[in-house]
Structure 1
């Protein structure tokens, strides 16, 4: 396994929205399945620290009761899908999802409002979020489409996203480790990265109120586009 220079991720403190760049970035140095398996347990550590900042008073309970079940169902469906795919298929699917989300954001889709008032839309968005989170740790965009449409305050948006992703991350860690059982190198990488989590979460929480959200996401989606195109090319090239 090639060495990886792991980037500290403040996604937990920003409500999980930028975690989608994790696998594409890590896949520059390793198999995307290995990247997913390494990142899955680390996300649980991030959640544990993030929820210290996003307490229950920041959760939108009216949304959470629909979002969590949908997330769990989407996770289960995607886990079943991944068990039948090889490295080329996974790379192609992850790359396509990343490019698709970047294009959707670029065309203004993330600012849609008004359609997200009914529980069926919450459940549908959460199912899509659970599926894309399981496949590529990229559950942020589908969930954001719904929650942005609800017009929640920034803190409530981040808190609701954090608790929903906590349940989703718990549900997907075992499937990921079954799909790609960790070897000694993967375990060492997880161990090395873990101490960076508390500092990264604290830093993200401090920056939450200071950074312009749209500028932050513009940078993240720019990175996502580049690394996803690379991942998509590698996946498609494997079939040639």
Structure 2
């Protein structure tokens, strides 16, 4: 999916200052996540991530759904990048920590989507080797991956077209709604 997405989200849609702040944490988080996979209960991490995400999204919904523009914070970016790295490695759910950092910045919708896309392209490339070391090595696993490939391209294409139709406020509402759905799924 990431490689399909880069066709749409070009370098002009990436927030380079945010990526520079987030990526070091992502590297550390993926390393921690690989370690966590071996010794911790991934379901406990999913529950903790879900609770934090529900709180974050709930506060936004309760506050009247504003598209805010808060200043960047290097410490928050490092924490978000690290948390995203751990949760993407452990539960394939690195989106909530990243969204918790990026959404309050009030980035234009193209910059938000492009930055998210590149962040996960880099993260997924980094976690591929460690994740595949712990993944099942069956022909059905690889067959499922091949079967999903066309759906990935179609999903990115559909997401791009939906993104073009939504204005900034609609996109932010959709992002917070998807965060809530993701949290419920993690629970």
Name the TM-score, length of structure 2 as normaliser.
0.84
Residues 1:55 and 2:7 aligned together? no
What do the CA deviations read for 1:92-114 (whole angstroms, capped 9, x no partner)? 33244234313321222897753
After TM superposition, give the deviation of residue 155 of structure 1 in Å: 0.3
Q: Is the 8 A contact 2:57 2:180 kept in 1?
A: no
* Residue 174 in structure 1 maps to residue 129 in structure 2: yes
Deviation (angstroms), 1:215: 4.4
Aligned equivalent of 2:186: 228
Alignment map for 1:199-218 (pairs within 5 Å): 199-211=154-166, 212-217=170-175
User: Structure 1: which 5+ runs fail to align?
Assistant: 1-45, 230-240
> 1:186–1:95: structure 2 CA closer, same or farther, 3 Å change rule?
farther
Aligned equivalents of 1:222, 1:119: Cα separation in 2: 26
**Structure 2 unaligned blocks of 5 or more:** none
Which 4+ residue blocks in structure 1 deviate beyond 6 angstroms? 109-112
Provide the aligned length of Structure 1 versus Structure 2. Answer: 180
**Whole-Å Cα distance in 2 between the matches of residues 163 and 96 of structure 1?**
26
Partner SS, residue 194 of structure 1: helix
Q: TM-score, normalised by structure 1?
A: 0.67
Q: Which residue is equivalent to 2:25?
A: 70
**Deviation per residue, 1:184-234 (Å, 9 max, x gap):** 1111111111111111111100001224224434553454344333xxxxx
Name the SS of the counterpart of 1:53 in structure 2. coil
Give yes or no for the alignment of 1:189 onto 2:147. Answer: no
Question: Tell me, what secondary structure is at the counterpart of 1:117?
Answer: coil
Contact (CA 8 Å) 1:54, 1:159: kept in 2 or not?
yes
